Structure 1
Amino acid sequence: MQSLSHELQNFSRARLKKQSTRITTATGKVLVETRSGDDGYVVEAAEESATCGFVQDLSLDLQVGVITPFLLLSSQDAASDTETLRKFKVTHVLNVACGVENAFPGHFIYKTVPMMDLPETELTSYLPQCFEFIDEAKKQDGVVLLHCNAGVSRSASIAIAYLMAKEKIPFEDAFNRVRSARPSIRPNAGFLVQLTEYHPRFITNTYCCSSSCTVDISNSALLFKCL
């Protein structure tokens, strides 16, 4: 048996088998990286992958937050689950997501209001048509399931604004009500600012949400400051 020192002395890169590294990007694009000589690598595109380059969370979010007896809040998962819809006696579905199809158009009354979950989206411009749909369902003794994609930003913001407008309560109270019903909510920074500045004309409370009311969004727990 040759000694280790002898093997090291006779080592040659040329005798090594060429090895390749397969890389899948976050978008699913596949790259193959192969050593080229002593100085570098050659990267080539391979066939597209059917999977993403990250671990996907495939668990369903079927939690439904009861905002009022006639208004529920959830993700798109719950809106696509017949057992959940039956359990909560849903009659109407308000879909504020983009690109999420209505699952059972023949069995429920739907309204789709596509909204982008971006800070610059003008949230208040979507409120009238959303409120009208919810109010009409209430008149019919129906139950509205309000959802977007994850049920944490767009739909949560609509629910907060609805409580502010219809129950004449300030932003902090409305936010806490919705978060108590669905703890995972997290409206984007732009929506939070718009909600703190939202003043339906019939809100008469002056102890909060005045023009000097601010919200600290640097942490997961919101800090309200009313000066």
Structure 2
Amino acid sequence: MHSLAQEIKAFSKNNLKKQCTRVTTLTGKRIIETWKDSRMHVVVETDGRADGACGYVQDLSLDLQVGEIRPWLLLASQDVAQDLETLKKYKVSRILNVGYGVENAFPDVFLYKSISILDLPETDITLYFQECFTFIDQAKMQGDVVLVHCNAGVSRAASVVIGYLIYTEGLSFNDAFSLVKTARPVICPNPGFMEQLKKYQPNHIVEIHTATNS
């Protein structure tokens, strides 16, 4: 049975430290989501790094931009998940936390589901899809608003939402990615997640396609 512990064990500590996802925001700020001291950090990239190494500079700015994918499905960073005013503004009642090391800030206020996913190209994110999709579907059926977030809200959470649109609405990868990118422009799934999403074909969609052509 797949477990996060097994997944972590498969990677060396050095590899985890070196992994970083770079994003350039609309304001031109370069953001890096990276491992440092065995924890995930969101930092601003420094200039003048000819060797391509990640620079570590503490980023104290908040990312409170919320991507409205559907009226009942939102995508954001951990900053939004920890900002009660913003959560209430968007009438959030459920929160899907797919970050690593991100605590649920308001357990007495919202219904949470936490699934720790490593933001590594080698991580098979599709293994987590069904559990995530079930939680999102429950929100939709009960008339709730669900927020999906990870640490930076650019890779894991975005990949889950893109996969959800492919799975539930039968969208192509390009259409699903474009829709999510429009709602939250800073999304940038890591290269491994991008390849998995491009190849992702839910069984029920494959079955429908086969039946149509038989």
- TM-score, structure 1 length as denominator? 0.66
Q: 3-state DSSP class of the match of 1:60?
A: coil
Q: How does 1:22-101 map to 2 (within 5 A)?
A: 54-101=56-103
Q: Offset at 1:54?
A: 4.4
Q: Offset at 1:201?
A: 2.7
Q: Who is 1:135 aligned against?
A: 137
Q: 3-state DSSP class of the match of 2:139?
A: helix
Distance 1:202-1:54 versus aligned 2 partners, 3 A rule: closer
Which has the larger helix fraction?
2
Separation of aligned partners in 2, 1:61 and 1:160: 20
Report sequence identity in percent: 58
Q: Who is 1:5 aligned against?
A: none
Q: Who is 1:111 aligned against?
A: 113
- Superposed CA deviations along residues 129-181 of structure 1, whole A, max 9, x for unmatched, are 00000011111100000000000000000000000011111000000000000
Q: Who is 1:151 aligned against?
A: 153
| Contact 1:72–1:146 (CA under 8 A) maintained in structure 2 | yes
Q: How does 1:172-187 map to 2 (within 5 A)?
A: 172-187=174-189
The amino acid that maps onto 2:181 is R
Separation of aligned partners in 2, 1:76 and 1:190: 22
- TM-score, structure 2 length as denominator? 0.70
| Contact 1:63–1:74 (CA under 8 A) maintained in structure 2 | yes
Distance 1:124-1:54 versus aligned 2 partners, 3 A rule: closer
Aligned residues: 156
Larger Rg: 1
Separation of aligned partners in 2, 1:118 and 1:195: 14
Separation of aligned partners in 1, 2:205 and 2:171: 7
| Contact 1:168–1:202 (CA under 8 A) maintained in structure 2 | no
The amino acid that maps onto 1:134 is I
Separation of aligned partners in 1, 2:95 and 2:188: 21
The amino acid that maps onto 1:151 is G
**Corresponding position: 1:125 with 2:124:** no
The amino acid that maps onto 1:182 is R
Q: Any unmatched runs of 5+ in structure 1?
A: 1-26, 29-52, 207-227
Moved over 2 A (4+): 201-206
Separation of aligned partners in 2, 1:178 and 1:54: 28
The amino acid that maps onto 1:155 is A
Q: Offset at 1:202?
A: 3.5
Q: Offset at 1:195?
A: 0.4
